[in-house]
């Protein structure tokens, strides 16, 4: 696994028995100089962040709400613009606070550095004769955090105490943001709930043909 932080992890994280993400986050805290760390579209971190079910659920709720507002706006227009910017900011959390994982060390986004945000573009397709249409979502997701001891979390208390002893108090808090891209589509059907396919939904994107007969299919490469 490539370490996108480019910081020597050191022996302590290995001894702690953490997962790979935890080793990188803790190792940077123990051995880094406090410089901000920004990760974008890294294969390891993309997979790590996207597979967390609770985070997916939190993102889905926020994205679905934003989609409803977009649809309501579309319905008020005779001619929709080709691309519409979309931005959502909210506080996100990983429920873990006692296991030895990167999720536990990140615990929650930090409001002072941006919290969690969803940013991207919505592209509405042409309307079918029955009024149905499809919206393409080209989105980026960013987790913004400060890795520092936090008394609310048991794992943080343990790691901070040991880190202070091992590193003689030289460990440095640092800003961390991790971003990843994901495409999705929204099927808007008359008198039916919106159907979101692709991340963060569990629905798969059909890239061959529309089983619902809706125009405007996109192939994501």
Q: What is the pLDDT of residue 164?
A: 58
- Closest among 93, 82, 187 to 143, alpha carbons compared: 93
Contact 122, 137 (CB under 8 A): yes
C-alpha–C-alpha distance, residues 118 and 69, integer Å = 15
Q: What is the domain partition of the chain in residue ranges?
A: 11-198
**pTM of this structure:** 0.81
Please state, in angstroms and rounded to a whole number, the distance separating the CA atoms of residues 219 and 221: 6
Distances (CA, A) of 68 to 85, 106, 118, 180: 14, 30, 15, 23
Q: Residue 215: its pLDDT value, please?
A: 39
pLDDT of residue 127: 85
Query: In tens digits, what is the pLDDT along the chain, a chain of 221 residues?
Result: 445 554 445 545 554 567 889 888 888 887 788 899 999 999 999 999 999 999 999 999 999 999 999 888 877 666 666 788 999 999 999 987 666 788 988 889 999 999 999 999 999 888 888 888 899 999 999 999 998 866 555 556 556 655 555 555 667 889 999 999 999 999 998 888 888 999 998 765 544 444 444 433 333 32
Residue 190's pLDDT is what?
A: 86
Q: How far is CA 38 from CA 21, 208, 211, in A?
A: 14, 36, 40
CATH of span 11-198: 3.30.450
Token pair for 93: 């959390």
- Give the pLDDT confidence score for residue 8 in this predicted structure: 47
pLDDT of residue 153: 56
Reduced to 3 states, what is the DSSP secondary structure of residue 56? helix
Q: Where are the beta strands (DSSP E) in the chain?
A: 37-40, 84-90, 116-124, 133-147, 174-188, 195-198
pLDDT attached to residue 162:
59
Q: How far from chain centre, in Å, is Cα 200?
A: 9
Q: Write down the pLDDT at residue 31.
A: 79
């Amino acid at each position: 696994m490539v370490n996108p932080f480019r910081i020597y992890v050191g022996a302590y994280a290995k001894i702690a028995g953490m997962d790979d993400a935890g080793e990188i986050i803790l190792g940077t805290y123990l051995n880094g100089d406090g410089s901000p760390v920004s990760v974008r579209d890294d294969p390891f971190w993309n997979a790590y962040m996207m597979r967390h079910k609770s985070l997916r659920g939190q993102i889905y709720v926020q994205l679905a709400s934003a989609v409803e507002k977009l649809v309501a706006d579309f319905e008020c227009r005779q001619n929709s613009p080709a691309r519409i910017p979309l931005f959502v900011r909210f506080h996100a959390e990983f429920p873990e606070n006692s296991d030895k994982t990167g999720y536990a060390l990140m615990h929650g986004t930090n409001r002072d550095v941006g919290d969690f945000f969803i940013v991207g573009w919505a592209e509405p397709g042409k309307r079918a004769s029955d009024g149905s249409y499809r919206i393409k979502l080209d989105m980026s997701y960013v987790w913004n955090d400060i890795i520092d001891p936090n008394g609310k979390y048991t794992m943080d208390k343990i790691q901070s105490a040991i880190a202070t002893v091992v590193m003689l108090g030289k460990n440095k808090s640092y800003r961390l943001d991790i971003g990843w891209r994901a495409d999705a589509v929204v099927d808007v059907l008359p008198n039916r709930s919106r159907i979101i396919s692709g991340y963060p939904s569990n629905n798969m994107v059909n890239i061959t043909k529309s089983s619902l007969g809706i125009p405007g299919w996109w192939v994501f490469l």
